[in-house]
A and B are shown apart, each in its own frame.
Chain A
Amino acid sequence: MAGRIRKIFINTKSLVYAIVIHLGVLALLLFSFDWGSTTIKSSMAKPQVEPIKAKMVSEADVQKQLDRIKAREEEKKRKELEAKKRLDDLLKQQQLEKQRLADLEKKKRLEAQQANALAEKRKKEEIRLAKLKREEDQKKRAAQKKREAEERRRAEEQRRREQAEKKKKQELARREAERQAQLKAQLEAEAEARRVAEAVNDARSRYIPIIQQKVDRNWTRPSGLKGLNAGVRVRLTPGGEVISAKVVRSSGNPVFDRSVENAILKASPLPIPSDRRINEQFRDIQFNFDPDRNFVSSL
């Protein structure tokens, strides 16, 4: 219990100390931290007071001094009057002089005005002349420009015409060349096709017997059947594997037909030419299977 009270007391005291420290720092900062407004220390000048100088004086001296002062004052007054009179005279004179000066000035101004008017007139005349000249020049220049433009236009037209002609000619030549190239290509394609067809025919006459032979080797003769033949249609992959084999012209005997189909499936892969273009012609072939005669292809 007592320990807890002491703890609370200590904590409170600590908090108070902490706050005091922060306030102190803040106050310090507020005092020392002042930007911008530089404090101007006004150096107040002390009013200078002259000490009073005093001296002891006697009565007679005082009287004498007074007399002297009085005399001086009278003198002063007289002098002032005189000065005033003189000043008046001077003022009058000055005024006269001023008047004269003003008259002179007026006269001069009049003269100047007349001169100005003259000068202005002359200037206007000059400006008019200059304007006239400028207009004439402008006209001349415009004419020149027009002529030049005309010439340029004509030259341009000429050039354009020439260009168009040239273009036309080029176009014609190009078309001609194209036509010829097309012709040539056509001819070449035809020749190619012919060549391919020949090659295909050639391959056919070479490969069909081989295929038939292979099928024959894989063929097991159903017992008691002789002198039959069947037309079959075989579909192949590019590699020669048999996809399907079907009798399209039956021999009349289903056993024989089935044996032929089995033989073809067994003979997979069939030998076919590897040349791609010819190979394509061998993807779907038909031939006649006749084991007794030599094979007659009918593709």
Chain B
Amino acid sequence: MSLITLIAQASLLVQLVMLILLLASVISWTMIFGKRYAIRDALRSADDFEDAFWSGGDMNNLYSEWSGRRRDPTGVASIFVAGYREYNRLAGKSGVDRGDMVDGVQRAMRVAMSREVETLETHLPFLATVGSTSPYIGLFGTVWGIMNSFRSLGVAQQATIASVAPGIAEALIATAMGLFAAIPAVIAYNRYSNHVERLISRYEVFSEEFLSIVNRQSFQMQKAS
């Protein structure tokens, strides 16, 4: 009695449950890998950009370099690009005082940051859902299978352990599959949400720092004029 015959003998509902769980597992693994690459990219680009930013180069060069790249800037770079673009626009205009400038830059950066956060957080809810519900789905399949096998046991004249055990085993496969789908999803969810939170706090710190630089700059400009 191999695994395949067990699955093939299961009732239609249990097979359906197994199919759902298999799909959920495949999709959640796809998201686990996809998220892994996305987070790795975000971390790397944040490292690259911060290195470039704090190396003391000219901010104009930095801006033209990052905004002119083939790829759209991501992560910290996109926040910087949005903030700096706004700064340039406001700095060219007359009659813009310091408070307006800081406010404008801050708003532009907040918009960029919320977009970044959104892309970082995609798919995480799906992982959480799979992690919390697939054990229940599996359990449902198991309960159904066991109900069926007990019903057939009631009909049978002689009840032996051999007449129930295969039914229960095939029902328990559903629970096993549910757990198989849920455990990686929960682990990945916890891990990735932690990473995402750390990235978000990094973005926030960067935008605060950039804002203080803008503030200082505009103060000097005001004084000069």
Report which A residues bind B (CB closer than 8 A).
2-3, 6, 10-11, 13-15, 17-19, 21-22, 25, 29-30, 33-37
B contacts with A: majority SS: helix
Residue B31 lies at the interface, judged by CB distance under 8 Å to chain A: yes
Which residues from A are CB-within-8-Å of B180? 25
Contact A18 B29 (CB under 8 A): yes
Q: A11-B34, A15-B30, A18-B29 are in contact. Are A2 and B71 (CB under 8 A)?
A: yes
Q: A2-B70, A3-B71, A25-B180 are in contact. Are A17 and B29 (CB under 8 A)?
A: yes
| Min C-beta distance of A112 to chain B, whole Å | 51
> Chain B contact residues (Cβ within 8 angstroms of A): what range?
20 to 34
> Which residue of B1, B27, B29, B38 contacts A36 across the interface (Cβ within 8 Å)?
B1
Residue B33 lies at the interface, judged by CB distance under 8 Å to chain A: yes
Q: A3-B71, A22-B25 are in contact. Are A30 and B34 (CB under 8 A)?
A: no
Return 27 A-B CB contacts under 8 Å, by A number: A2-B70, A2-B71, A3-B74, A6-B71, A10-B37, A10-B38, A11-B34, A14-B32, A14-B36, A15-B30, A17-B29, A17-B30, A17-B33, A18-B29, A18-B32, A18-B33, A22-B22, A22-B26, A22-B29, A30-B2, A30-B3, A30-B4, A34-B1, A34-B2, A35-B2, A35-B169, A36-B1
A contacts with B: majority SS: helix
Report which B residues bind A (CB closer than 8 A).
1-4, 22, 25-27, 29-34, 36-38, 70-72, 74, 169, 180
Which residues from A are CB-within-8-Å of B3? 29-30, 33
Which residues from B are CB-within-8-Å of A2? 70-71
Contact A35 B1 (CB under 8 A): yes
Contact B34 A10 (CB under 8 A): yes
Q: A3-B71, A10-B34, A11-B34 are in contact. Are A18 and B1 (CB under 8 A)?
A: no
- In the complex the two chains form, what is the Cα distance from A25 to B36 in whole Å? 21
> Which residue of B2, B26, B38, B169 contacts A18 across the interface (Cβ within 8 Å)?
B26
- In the complex the two chains form, what is the Cα distance from A19 to B32 in whole Å? 12
- In the complex the two chains form, what is the Cα distance from A2 to B71 in whole Å? 6
| Min C-beta distance of A37 to chain B, whole Å | 7
Q: Which residue of A lies closest to B36 (CB)?
A: A14
Q: Which residue of A lies closest to B34 (CB)?
A: A14
- In the complex the two chains form, what is the Cα distance from A2 to B169 in whole Å? 50
Q: A21-B29, A30-B2 are in contact. Are A14 and B37 (CB under 8 A)?
A: yes
